[in-house]
Structure 1
Amino acid sequence: MKTGFIGLGNVGGKLAGSLLRNGIDLTVHDLNPDLVAGFTARGAQAADSPAQMMQDCEAVITCLPSPAASDAVLRQMLPHVGPGKIWVEMSTTDEAEVKRLGAQVIAAGGAAVDCPVSGGCHRADTGNISIFAGCDRATFERILPLLKTMGRRILHTGDLGSASVLKVMTNYLATANLLTLCEALVTMKAAGMDLATTYQAIAISSGTSFVHETESQVILNGSRDINFTMDLVKKDIGLFQAIADRAGVPLEISPLMISIFEDGIRRYGMRAQSDDIIRRLEEATGLDITAPGFPAQMVDDEPEEPGYEVHAPGRTT
């Protein structure tokens, strides 16, 4: 399957790299010509526009920073959508928006999938990230070889839009975990505990998590470099709040989380690393939440493995 990839940023560039590394016939496009040049130097082709990419490719993947960006790109591609064409939306986006755009693709004779990822940039880089896919089963079967190349665990979540709902939920949970870890680390430092010992105590306890085992390390290193910025966190938790609002669920923790990140953006800027949110507590207490022996960036040390479909309990498809 000739494949196009639009959006070569922190996540998209790594997903596209997995496709290229594993021999997929890949065409790329990005507003940053340096990112495109890096791929063409490794054997990818470059498209002049999203329109050309949809003309030339069977499947076009988008991994973009906002629903507005996806809308702008799809409007260029739509005149060239027809039978046999697939749009794979790997951005973290709004359920209603991906349904709206996907309906246009389907009406033109193509197929649409919302296909967000979860697991961090370091796993996107090695092809070991998890992928959700929302679409009809026949379309899922068509794109499954591509998904297995980009990720390890692949979950068919149901109809178009379902994957985006679940992805926003997982990002909400990860953000809640990050904020509680920040409070835990600062409180332990204030109580006189050694931070490396604190890290290990969490890691071997019921309080551990994926977020702790990754993000706590770059927090304690001081780099806070998790390849995810505060504006993206605010977008994602805002999307989760919107789901709850539409469903009439009176959330209590979510509005506070949004307020905390709005304050972080005011202090440090929209493009500050999300883990820099701990600086609010460092500044409030005068404490330095760093410790020796932790990495500046996360690296996935698991070997790359072929992906496979996972199923919800009690289901085989």
Structure 2
Amino acid sequence: MPDIRSSQIGFIGLGQMGLGMAVNLLKAGFRLRGYDPRPEAMAALRSAGGEPAADNASLVQACDVVLTSLTCPVYLQVAREVLLPLARAGQVFIDTSTLPAPRAREMAAALEPRGAVGLDAPVTGGAAGAQTGRLRMFVGGDRRAFEHCLPMLRAVCKPDGVTYGGPAGMGQVMKVVQQLKNRLTDAVRLEVIAFGLRAGLSPDLVRRALDVKRGCDDRYETLLSAIEAGRGDTLDCVFAEWPYYLEEARAQGIPMPALEALYRFCKDGPKVCRDAVGRMAPSLWRELSTRARPAEGE
């Protein structure tokens, strides 16, 4: 493979995550061509020194390394319609999106007969991390391709922010662990708070029961303060990604009883919670705080 700094880099998906990463690659001196269907995103890329591509296909044909930052459904469509048909020997495809680990493994396997490599490299850190180059990234796939691309990946992450997890799909597995570390425990905390409030305790008596003080930095207080302020529906547990996590768990035969139960509980609720990347999903707080207990036998 040619030196990564002499390679033509392509970036598909210049949203609130992708644009920040693309701009930081340009700041680090990489040659970058990008595409997004939104004119304002293309204008922002051009003003940062990037080269707008006419479409996804021309970008793939012109680039040695292609990064993507898309929602899961859009990524799978672009992979099926553009990336796989146009992939050629020596190309590296790096997907920074969050998707089910089985889909990441399928993509890597489909690229292999073409002589190309697929790396799953989901990121965490939000739009602010993307803009400031302080993301964390978990990478799965071919180790040699990972090491070849590592200087480029480091340009969008904080120091020591890039971690190699092993074969294809393991980047997505690491992302599941990272996300559920706080999100699953937040879901349980919300259930505790909902029980106390719906059983008749005031918010301050809930605090007394939890042994937390108003205004402190305890996570229970953060959640309870948001609920008191009428922002319960904004409490994001990344519900939109839970089916991805469960797909891998089921594929591996790994029980996740808490996540399975919470997903079934929420999945049919109205989509009123907008997450950090703009996806709409049910609000766990709304379901916990308003739904009636099913009658016996239901």
TM range (shorter): 0.7 to 0.9
TM-score scaled by structure 1? Answer: 0.72
Deviates more, 1:145-154 or 1:41-50: 41-50
Instruction: Describe the SS at the equivalent of 1:61.
Output: strand
Which residue, 143, 147, 155 being the options, matches 1:141?
147
1:72 aligns with 2:80: no
In structure 1, the partner of 2:272 is: 268
Number of equivalenced pairs: 272
CA displacement, residues 156-180 of structure 1 (integer Å, 9 cap, x when unaligned): 1111111112213332333213323
1:241 aligns with 2:246: yes
Query: CA separation in 2, counterparts of 1:131 and 1:3?
Result: 18
Query: CA separation in 1, counterparts of 2:134 and 2:49?
Result: 22
CA displacement, residues 10-39 of structure 1 (integer Å, 9 cap, x when unaligned): 322322232233332221111222222221
Letter in 2 for 1:236: E
Query: CA separation in 1, counterparts of 2:120 and 2:183?
Result: 22
Query: CA separation in 2, counterparts of 1:35 and 1:80?
Result: 24
Mapped contact 1:171–1:236 kept (Cα < 8 A): no
1:278 aligns with 2:292: no
Superposed counterparts of 1:298-317, under 5 Å: none
1:257 aligns with 2:262: yes
Say what the alpha-carbon RMSD is for the aligned residues.
3.5
In structure 1, the partner of 2:174 is: 166
Letter in 1 for 2:173: V
Q: Which is bigger in relative contact order (C-alpha 8 A, separation at least 6)?
A: 1
**Higher-Rg member (1/2):** 2
Query: CA separation in 1, counterparts of 2:115 and 2:61?
Result: 14
CA displacement, residues 180-236 of structure 1 (integer Å, 9 cap, x when unaligned): 343466658251649x94452516xxx89xxx7xx889778766898x978xx3342
Letter in 1 for 2:244: L
Query: CA separation in 1, counterparts of 2:257 and 2:33?
Result: 45
Superposed counterparts of 1:1-317, under 5 Å: 1-66=7-72, 68-74=73-79, 75-152=81-158, 153-183=161-191, 187=196, 189-191=203-205, 193=207, 197-198=213-214, 200-202=216-218, 233-264=238-269, 266=270, 268=272, 277-280=284-287
TM-score scaled by structure 2? Answer: 0.76
Structure 2: gaps (5+ residues):
1-6, 197-201, 292-298
Letter in 2 for 1:151: C
Mapped contact 2:240–2:281 kept (Cα < 8 A): no
Mapped contact 1:181–1:216 kept (Cα < 8 A): no
- Deviation of residue 250 (structure 1)? 3.3
Letter in 1 for 2:259: S
Structure 1: gaps (5+ residues):
285-317
Mapped contact 2:266–2:283 kept (Cα < 8 A): no
Query: CA separation in 2, counterparts of 1:100 and 1:54?
Result: 19
1:272–1:30: structure 2 CA closer, same or farther, 3 Å change rule? closer
Letter in 2 for 1:246: A
Deviates more, 1:23-32 or 1:165-174: 165-174
Letter in 2 for 1:278: W
Query: CA separation in 1, counterparts of 2:121 and 2:60?
Result: 18
Q: Percent of pairs identical after alignment?
A: 24
1:116–1:183: structure 2 CA closer, same or farther, 3 Å change rule? same
In structure 2, the partner of 1:312 is: none
Mapped contact 2:271–2:282 kept (Cα < 8 A): no
In structure 2, the partner of 1:309 is: none
